[in-house]
């Protein structure tokens, strides 16, 4: 199978400048290392009508193309069920009936990160399980034995943290992102994952899960985000940040592309021009502060 990189947006709305910058970086990483570049729509949750088509159109407008048909997670339920079944057969899952509020209010284990699952349902006996099953549907959690796990990242180096008993399938039957993305990346031959550095901590869970399933762990590169003037991750509420909004104030898709490339120290023009000058070691390590069209700075 050919090795590949990818971009995998959730179709919850329009892509903004930050999303497009990450997509361009993922494309540059893949192309500069001789990989194919794939597009997957992570639509298990929060899909909005028309969002996918708009996202694909915007990616093409800034020059990001892909090498195979678009894949959608909602078409892949059988793959996820098979993976969860393998883990269950190995004794590595259990049913969980906790609400978010119960998890939030439960005391955390020492040294566990905020929001880590405290293991409330891990040791329920058969009688307790029957009582819980009568009250609410169960989620499926991984029975983690990892303690700490370490991943290597191209930009951050070794990154270590706690891996808790995270959810594999929610109590509404929807496969959790951490399971789906591991299965998808392996099945598609994706061995390079470039995404925003706000997702670095979740990489520990995904790499650990891949090891349990006997799947390869991709090469990771978590890139800095685009943020607003307050240092918060860029969002629609920050004004003209999508291609449609920026076009309304006179900025073309090509101009947005060039602004993004400039923020990376790369030349203007088609992405092939940037590819010739691209060096991962030269990527800025700090967020790009977006202060409006044409006024972004590091």
Confidence of residue 44 (pLDDT cuts 50, 70, 90): very high
286 occurs within a structural domain: no
295 occurs within a structural domain: no
Q: In the predicted model, what is the mean pLDDT of residues 261-267?
A: 97
244 occurs within a structural domain: yes
289 occurs within a structural domain: no
Q: Taking all residues of the chain, what is their mean pLDDT, rounded to a whole number? A: 93
Q: In the predicted model, what is the mean pLDDT of residues 47-71?
A: 95
8 is in an annotated binding site: yes
10 is in an annotated binding site: yes
208 and 244 belong to one structural domain: yes
171 and 54 belong to one structural domain: no
Q: Are 59 and 20 contacting, i.e. CB atoms less than 8 angstroms apart?
A: yes
18 and 39 belong to one structural domain: yes
List the single range of 128-132, 201-205, 222-226, 233-237 with lowest mean pLDDT. Answer: 233-237
Tell me how many degrees the CA angle 178-218-48 measures, rounded to the nearest 5. 40
Which residues span the domain enclosing 163?
78-179
Q: Is residue 31 packed enough to be buried (19+ CB in 10 Å), middle (13-18) or exposed (0-12)?
A: middle
Per-residue pLDDT, 104: 81
Final residue before a domain boundary, out of 154, 179, 204: 179
42 is in an annotated binding site: yes
Confidence of residue 106 (pLDDT cuts 50, 70, 90): confident
177 is in an annotated binding site: yes
90 and 175 belong to one structural domain: yes
- DSSP 3-state of 160: strand
49 is in an annotated binding site: no
CATH number at residue 156: 3.90.800.10
Q: In the predicted model, what is the mean pLDDT of residues 39-50?
A: 88
**Residue 117: count of CB within 10 angstroms of its CB:** 21
72 and 83 belong to one structural domain: no
7 is in an annotated binding site: yes
230 and 195 belong to one structural domain: yes
103 and 223 belong to one structural domain: no
238 is in an annotated binding site: no
96 is in an annotated binding site: yes
208 is in an annotated binding site: no
Instruction: Give per-residue pLDDT as tens, 145-160.
Output: 988 999 999 999 999 9
pTM of the predicted model, to two decimals? 0.93
195 is in an annotated binding site: yes
70 and 118 belong to one structural domain: no
9 is in an annotated binding site: yes
197 is in an annotated binding site: no
Q: Is residue 126 packed enough to be buried (19+ CB in 10 Å), middle (13-18) or exposed (0-12)?
A: exposed
291 occurs within a structural domain: no
12 is in an annotated binding site: no
Packing angle between helix 200-212 and helix 177-187, nearest 10 degrees? 60
CATH number at residue 270: 3.40.50.620
108 and 248 belong to one structural domain: no
Total structural domains within the chain: 2
218 and 269 belong to one structural domain: yes
DSSP 259-279: HHHHHTT--SSSHHHHHHH--
Q: Are strands 93-96 and 71-72 parallel, antiparallel or unpaired?
A: unpaired
152 and 32 belong to one structural domain: no
Final residue before a domain boundary, out of 155, 179, 203: 179
Final residue before a domain boundary, out of 119, 146, 179: 179
């Amino acid at each position: 199978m050919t090795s590949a990189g990818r971009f995998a947006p959730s179709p919850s709305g329009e892509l903004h400048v930050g999303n497009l910058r990450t997509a361009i970086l993922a494309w540059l990483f893949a192309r500069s290392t001789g990989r194919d570049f794939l597009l997957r729509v992570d639509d298990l949750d929060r899909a909005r009508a028309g969002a996918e088509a708009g996202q694909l159109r915007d990616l093409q407008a800034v020059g990001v193309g892909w090498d195979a048909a678009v894949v959608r997670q909602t078409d892949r339920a059988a793959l996820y069920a098979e993976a969860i079944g393998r883990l269950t057969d190995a004794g590595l899952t259990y049913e969980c009936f906790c609400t978010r509020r119960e998890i939030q209010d439960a005391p955390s284990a020492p040294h566990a990160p905020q929001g880590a699952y405290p293991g409330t349902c891990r040791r329920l006996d058969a009688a307790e399980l029957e009582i819980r099953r009568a009250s609410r549907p169960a989620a499926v959690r991984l029975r983690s034995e990892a303690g700490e796990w370490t991943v290597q990242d191209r930009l951050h180096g070794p990154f270590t943290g706690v891996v808790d008993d995270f959810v594999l399938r929610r109590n509404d039957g929807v496969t959790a992102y951490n399971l789906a993305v591991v299965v998808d990346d392996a099945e598609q031959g994706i061995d390079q994952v470039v995404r925003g550095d706000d997702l670095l901590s979740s990489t520990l869970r995904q790499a650990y899960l891949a090891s349990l399933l006997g799947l390869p762990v991709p090469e990771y590169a978590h890139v800095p985000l685009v943020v607003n003037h307050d240092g918060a991750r860029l969002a629609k509420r920050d004004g003209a940040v999508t291609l449609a909004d920026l076009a309304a104030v006179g900025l073309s898709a090509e101009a947005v592309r060039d602004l993004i490339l400039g923020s990376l120290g790369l030349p203007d023009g088609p992405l092939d021009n940037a590819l010739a000058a691209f060096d991962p070691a030269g990527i800025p390590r700090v967020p790009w502060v977006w202060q409006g069209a044409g006024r972004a700075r590091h």
